[in-house]
């Protein structure tokens, strides 16, 4: 490592530790000018690739779908509201001539709807699956199956969808990306209370706990699907100005507004990670095109037993087998 790269690494780590300005648009602007900043994906590098993006009607999901479309991917916008999805497709098509887009209806928090979608409407082959759909309800809310909504939407639904899509992902060197949140750094994983039944409910805490669970299960999920040639990653966007932030955290948006990243800046690492070649190894958390520590404090650290209990709970809610059998007719490569 030369002097410029050593200096760049020091600045990058300082930005990561200080959070602000690291998570703001200032952090991305500084990092992208440092020595060693990873190159952009090659133009048209996603041609003939199929990408699924959940929650793609606004914010980070819309920006991710558009970014992948610009690289030539055939993008499925997996959304709850087909009318909004169709309007987003028109917007993207106007900005990206020749974009290949399709709207698929699915409520990721509804496990039965996930099963219906995969059985009836999902494509036969998938190269990139991006779990971006998110919500922060102001009160404790339950999914149709009775699960606390943030855990259903951010953990149970994505795991089930990926598991059911294994035949479509297998043998394609596919990538699965969970879009998480830097807010998870403030919470430890609550394997003792995954449904948030204890104590006074806080929407920001529930959201962060579910995002912490995503990150803690990365290694488990990556190992579970590695025999299919699938790698699992997580990205956090920093502080981005999205409709969700405006609705759920209006004071935060008011205070930090001038420093917030655009949705495109927040989605940068997700698009990069979905398309860069060669594919990075899985099981890691990424931010601004670099793998990051999953903990900034010892108080949030998770032991192996805790992680196993959380995975057992997830597996039981989804009625998944303990061991993974390779999909028929598919081979990992």
List, by residue number, the catalytic residues. 207
- Do 76 and 52 form a contact (C-beta atoms < 8 A)? yes
Residues 6+ apart with CB under 8 A from 116: 106
The C-alpha atoms of residue 266 and residue 269 are separated, in whole angstroms, by 7
- Tokens representing residue 264 in the block: 């495109």
Length of the chain: 333
Q: Alpha carbon of 110 to those of 80, 134, 308: distances in Å? A: 10, 13, 24
Element (H, E) at 129: strand 128-131
- Determine the Cα–Cα distance for residues 291 and 150; give it in Å rounded to an integer: 25
Q: How many whole angstroms separate alpha carbon 176 and alpha carbon 222?
A: 9
User: Helix (H) and strand (E) counts for the chain?
Assistant: 15, 8
Look at the alpha carbons of 91, 94, 95, 99 in this order and tell me if their dihedral is positive or negative: positive
191/182 Cα distance (integer angstroms): 20
Say if CB 218 and CB 285 are below 8 A apart.
yes
Residue 252 corresponds to which tokens in the numbers above? 């935060």
Determine phi and psi for 49, rounding to 5 degrees. Answer: -95, 145
């Amino acid at each position: 490592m030369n002097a410029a790269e050593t200096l760049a690494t020091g600045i990058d780590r300082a930005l990561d530790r200080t959070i602000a300005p690291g998570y703001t648009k200032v952090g991305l602007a500084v990092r992208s000018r440092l020595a060693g900043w990873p190159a952009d994906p090659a133009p048209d590098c996603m041609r003939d690739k199929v990408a699924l993006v959940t929650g793609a009607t606004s914010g980070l999901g819309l920006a991710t779908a558009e970014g992948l479309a610009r690289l030539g991917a055939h993008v499925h916008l997996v959304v709850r509201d087909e009318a909004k999805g169709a309007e987003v497709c028109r917007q993207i098509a106007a900005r990206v001539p020749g974009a290949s887009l399709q709207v698929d209806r699915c409520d990721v928090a509804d496990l039965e709807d996930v099963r219906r979608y995969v059985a009836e409407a999902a494509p036969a082959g998938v190269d990139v699956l991006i779990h971006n759909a998110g919500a922060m309800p102001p009160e404790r809310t339950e999914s149709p199956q009775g699960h606390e909504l943030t855990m259903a939407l951010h953990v149970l639904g994505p795991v089930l969808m990926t598991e059911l899509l294994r035949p479509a992902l297998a043998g394609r060197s596919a990538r699965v990306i969970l879009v998480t949140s830097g807010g998870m750094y403030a919470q430890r994983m609550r394997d003792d209370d995954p449904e948030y039944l204890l104590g006074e409910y806080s929407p920001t805490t529930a959201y962060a706990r579910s995002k912490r669970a995503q990150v803690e299960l990365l290694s488990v999920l990556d190992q579970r699907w590695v025999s299919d040639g699938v790698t699992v990653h997580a990205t956090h966007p920093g502080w981005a100005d999205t409709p969700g932030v405006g609705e759920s955290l209006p004071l935060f948006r008011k205070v930090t507004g001038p420093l917030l990243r655009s949705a495109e800046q927040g989605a940068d690492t997700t698009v990069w990670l979905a398309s860069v070649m060669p594919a990075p190894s899985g099981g890691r958390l990424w931010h601004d095109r670099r793998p990051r520590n999953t903990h900034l404090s010892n108080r949030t650290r998770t032991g192996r037993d805790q992680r196993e209990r959380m995975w057992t709970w997830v597996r039981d809610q989804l009625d998944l087998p303990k061991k993974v059998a390779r999909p028929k007719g598919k081979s990992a490569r």
